[in-house]
Structure formats: structure tokens, C-alpha cells
Amino acid sequence: MKVFIKISIILFSIFMISSLSFAQSCDPNTREPNEDEVIFFEHINYGGCWMGAKIGSNYSSLVGNTYNPICKKTINWNDTISSIKVGAKVMVTVYEHVNYGGRSQTWKGNCKAPLCLRDLRNSNWNDKISSFRVDRNHDCY
């Protein structure tokens, strides 16, 4: 009986560890989002420079050069984003033009795990995003 309990605990632990590592991660080698933030990347496959934005952040224009201390270079994020990790409890809406204009697209995490958008060429959004809003994913609250 004791052995059975021990085996059960071990199996349960393995299950918990594996579900954590599989469910919570897009690519552990690059910056992962907290559940309340979205991470935008310069290149596909979460490459290049990245910027994070929390729930409640609205960027009406990405136009203009900003110094990014993370990658230590000046970058213009307009028409630059090529991959995105959407935090578990985040709903992000991206827009083709500044001031939330033009075509738009909304993506959400699934409340437990981030949504992994590794290559925006697949959805015709590569190097097109000019403004975005980050809201709560209301499915999760």
C-alpha cells in the first residue's frame, strides 16, 4: 500500500511538471509572457528585439525610433513585429494603421497558457502592425 502511494505521488509529480512545461511555454529559450502581458518580437521565431505590454496598455502609434534597453539598439516598431506571445489572460487587438485604423485582428490566450504566434506571415500580419490595444481576456475572469 505504501509503495502504491509513493508511485502515485511520483506519477502525479511527473504529470504536474510536464503539464507545466508543456502548457505554459511557447519557447522557453526566448522571453515568455506573464499571464497579464503580451510580448512582441522583431523577427519570426521570437527573434531579434522584443517589447512587452501589459493589460491596459494602448499604443495608438508605433511610428518613431525608440531606444530599446533590452536589445541595446534604436528600433522603429512600426511595421516591424513578426512574432507574438499573447499571455494566458490577455486579449490583444492589432491594427494595420496608426490610431487603431485599417484592418484589425484579435488574439487571446486560453487562460492557462499563452497563445504562440511564431510566424505572422501565416496570418498576413508580418511587418504590418502600426497600433495595438492590450485588454483582459474576459473568458478568464
Cell of 101: 485604423
Nearest to residue 115, comparing CAs of 24, 54, 42? 24
Q: Please count the other Cβ atoms lying within 10 Å of the Cβ belonging to residue 129.
A: 25
Query: Distance of alpha carbon 55 from its chain centroid, rounded?
Result: 12
131 binds Ca ion (CB under 5 A): no
Using the 8-state DSSP alphabet, how is residue 26 labeled?
A: S
Q: Which stretch binds Ca ion (CB under 5 A): 28-36, 53-61, 90-98, 115-123?
A: 90-98
Residue 33 or 77: which CB sits closer to Ca ion?
77
**Contacting Ca ion (CB under 5 A), which of 38, 39, 77, 82?**
82
Q: Angle at the Cα of 94 (from 93 to 97), degrees rounded to 5?
A: 140
Q: Which stretch binds Ca ion (CB under 5 A): 2-10, 31-39, 83-91, 96-104?
A: 96-104
Number of alpha helices (DSSP H) and beta strands (DSSP E) in the chain: 1, 10
C-alpha 77/C-alpha 64 separation (Å) is 7
83 binds Ca ion (CB under 5 A): no
Q: Which stretch binds Ca ion (CB under 5 A): 15-23, 31-39, 69-77, 78-86?
A: 78-86
130 binds Ca ion (CB under 5 A): yes
**Contacting Ca ion (CB under 5 A), which of 14, 18, 79, 106?**
79
Question: Which residues of the chain form contacts with Ca ion (CB under 5 A)?
Answer: 79-80, 82, 96, 127-128, 130
